[in-house]
Structure 1
């Protein structure tokens, strides 16, 4: 999946003959952000055709389901139910595949978020519940490896908020050095734990997913995990100072 942003369009207009040709060829499934669309009003967009033979070879290489069925041991029932996971898009994935492991890690983070939201709700921290919901929606979306323009805008908003608060955080609560104590509120410790989970997700994407994502998506997914991790740190500090907005 490729994301076409405003900055990329501006770069294409500067460095290519797009202004003259007014013709742009994109990969199938490319997501165009709302701000980028403003620059494409007078440009004809064409999506590159992928042959069925090529697509079939790609699927067989990443998931040789045919071979699994042919070699299925006699007397063993539903081996695919044991070895295969079917995602929300109906695709079948090996449970040993990195995409499945990524989904497992994301689901674990979602579970953490829901638990913190429940505890926060019971003590009346509704602003924290809403803030955590933002992280939850983004994690759930990237776990399916799909990003809509709305989610991208949400991520950009989180990034802007984090950038504004980074100097203050770095001076009083530097990430990697500051650590809460057992005397802090339960939600502070829970957010510290969630920050660690997001840090693990960031590391997993950076280390393991470079080979299965195109470069642009790889960089995007790492940056999203980093943005969410930084935002969680801000929420933890705000909770510690009892000033969650």
Structure 2
């Protein structure tokens, strides 16, 4: 029985080949790890098992060849890692971590710092969800849940390299988020304000999420700024910018009782 990881799939079949075929034929003696299944799902590659009932379109020779390759990977005990500075390693150092696949970077790499910031932001959102649930504000809990799903999609996009398509949060597209956060008097009947303790605990929670999102945006900027002073992944940076504006909108909604059920 062969246990296939994401790295095994990349080595055995190649991303380009899988993307062209759009499907992966799982043999009886193969087991996919969760990361391998996630990799195939992210690439919109269908896992096929119908060929096990005699419907396999590949020849017997192809099937045998695949099994031999799987056995070779299974027997290979030594893992090989690549680095950004061109050195191949046969053991993963504790001070390095995976950027993608078997490519290792130092743990202070900007993109690793960004992933940590996203993780921290998500954990804080969950705490605010708990506070909102205690208040009985299901609308606020749901809005925060939508944001959690959104930042997880940003993380997935950073890892896979896929661009971020147009998005909507709380029914608003990016330009609408910016417009409403800039002109609260027009949309909520209140002016911009400096948060204080007088606005209450929940406004303080939402304001903290806003500041954490801004900090994550700056970490993203540093991660994608090149040595030539060019900036990559502007889509991710802009997404965090709009998200910080959305937390302003949520504060306006809260103080004007829009979150009362």
Asked if TM exceeds 0.5, the reply is yes
1:97 equivalent in alignment to 2:112: no
Q: Secondary structure at the match of 2:97?
A: strand
Counterpart secondary structure, 1:183: helix
Alignment match, 2:142:
130
CA distance in 2 between counterparts of 1:216 and 1:119 reads: 37
Q: Is 1:188 matched with 2:196?
A: no
Moved beyond 6 Å, runs of 4+:
147-151
Report the number of matched residues. Answer: 175
User: Higher relative contact order at CA 8 Å, sep ≥6: structure 1 or structure 2?
Assistant: 1
Cα distance in 1 between the residues matched to 2:178 and 2:123:
27
| Greater gyration radius | 2
Q: Distance in 2 between matches of 1:209 and 1:216?
A: 6
Among 203, 206, 209, the alignment partner of 2:221 is: 206
After superposition, where does 1:39-78 map in structure 2 within 5 Å? 60=82, 62=84, 64=86, 66=88, 68-69=89-90
Question: Residues 99 and 208 from structure 1, CA distance in 2 versus in 1: closer, same or farther, beyond 3 angstroms?
Answer: closer
Distance 1:126 1:193, change over 3 A: same
Separation in 1 of the partners of 2:231 and 2:185?
A: 29
**1:234 and 2:246 matched:** no
- 1:149 to 1:84, Cα distance in 2 relative to 1, 3 A: closer
Out of 148, 158, 166, the position equivalent to 2:181 is 166
Give the aligned partner of residue 139 of structure 1: 151
**Aligned Cα root-mean-square deviation (Å):** 3.5
> What is the TM-score with the length of structure 2 in the denominator?
0.55
**d(CA) in 1 for partners of 2:205 and 2:161?**
27
Q: CA deviation at 1:125?
A: 1.0
Over 3 Å counting, the alpha-carbon distance change for 1:79 and 1:208 in structure 2 is: closer
Q: Is 1:220 aligned to 2:242, yes or no? A: no
Provide the secondary structure at the position in 2 that maps to 1:154.
coil
Structure 2's unaligned 5+ residue stretches are 1-42, 44-80
Q: 1:117 matched to which residue of 2?
A: 129
